[in-house]
Amino acid sequence: EADIYQTPRYLVIGTGKKITLECSQTMGHDKMYWYQQDPGMELHLIHYSYGVNSTEKGDLSSESTVSRIRTEHFPLTLESARPSHTSQYLCASSDSTTDTQYFGPGTRLTVL
Amino acid sequence: QKEVEQDPGPLSVPEGAIVSLNCTYSNSAFQYFMWYRQYSRKGPELLMYTYSSGNKEDGRFTAQVDKSSKYISLFIRDSQPSDSATYLCAMTKSGGYQKVTFGIGTKLQVIP
């Protein structure tokens, strides 16, 4: 059973607001990931981290930023939300041996 | 051409049918293979993972990997309406710090 949590689950916010999506895991995994997924579409990797103080951009360009100050915590921040940021954001973590990823429930973001 | 190809469907089957879901890939370096189930508006849930070639069974689910053909399959026996979801294949190379490559997902509908 995966223990990875995301808050909020749903967020509706106006254009220009700063938002932070929270992700935490209790499995002690070094690796964590953020994906963006539009309804019925494929997953797109936007950020990943292989450990504390390590962050990298993913395959899909994103205006969001991430930080990894603690192993269990990997928040994603949008400094100024726009309607084009409307999507589902999925956080995942993986163990170092198999890279099997475990996903959180996701945050559905709507920017008006 | 994508590294991992997966038919997006949708695939509709009657309840009780045997379902076969497949992915092909082009990179022979892939060693770990995973199947995820994703219900609408939820995060993907890990169903099965296998290392290298062979079969793995878990209840009604069987995963097969044929590395010589670069082809992986997930079989669902006695399919149930609750199996209706999108099924994503995923794979990664061995060794540390490898990113996971996901298929686009196949949408399955099991009709009562």
Q: DSSP per residue over A28-62, as a string?
A: --SEEEEEEE-TTS--EEEEEEEETTEEEE-SS--
Q: What pLDDT is attached to residue A13?
A: 96
The percentage of chain B sitting over the pLDDT mark of 90, rounded to a whole number, equals 80
Q: Indicate the helix (H) or strand (E) that contains B56.
A: strand B54-58
Q: What pLDDT is attached to residue B96?
A: 64
**CA dist., res. B47 & res. B51, Å (int):** 14
A27 touches chain B (CB under 8 A): no
Which residues in chain B are closer than 8 Å to A41, comparing Cβ atoms?
104
Report in angstroms the alpha-carbon separations of B112 from B13, B15, B58, B78, B82.
Answer: 9, 5, 23, 12, 10
Summarize pLDDT for A86-99 with one digit per residue, the tens. 999 999 999 877 77
Residue B41 binned pLDDT confidence (cut-offs 50, 70, 90): confident
Which residues in chain A are closer than 8 Å to B103, comparing Cβ atoms?
42
- Is residue B98 within 8 Å of residue B1, measured between CB atoms? no
**CA dist., res. B93 & res. B29, Å (int):** 6
Summarize pLDDT for B44-79 with one digit per residue, the tens. 999 998 988 889 999 999 999 999 999 999 999 999
Phi-psi region of B83 (alpha: psi -120 to 50; beta: other; left: phi over 0): alpha
Best of B4, B6, B33, B46 to disrupt the A interface (most A CBs within 10 Å) is: B46
Which residues in chain B are closer than 8 Å to A31, comparing Cβ atoms?
97
Phi-psi region of B98 (alpha: psi -120 to 50; beta: other; left: phi over 0): beta
**CA dist., res. B110 & res. B14, Å (int):** 6
Rounded average pLDDT over B77-92: 96
Amino acid at B43: G
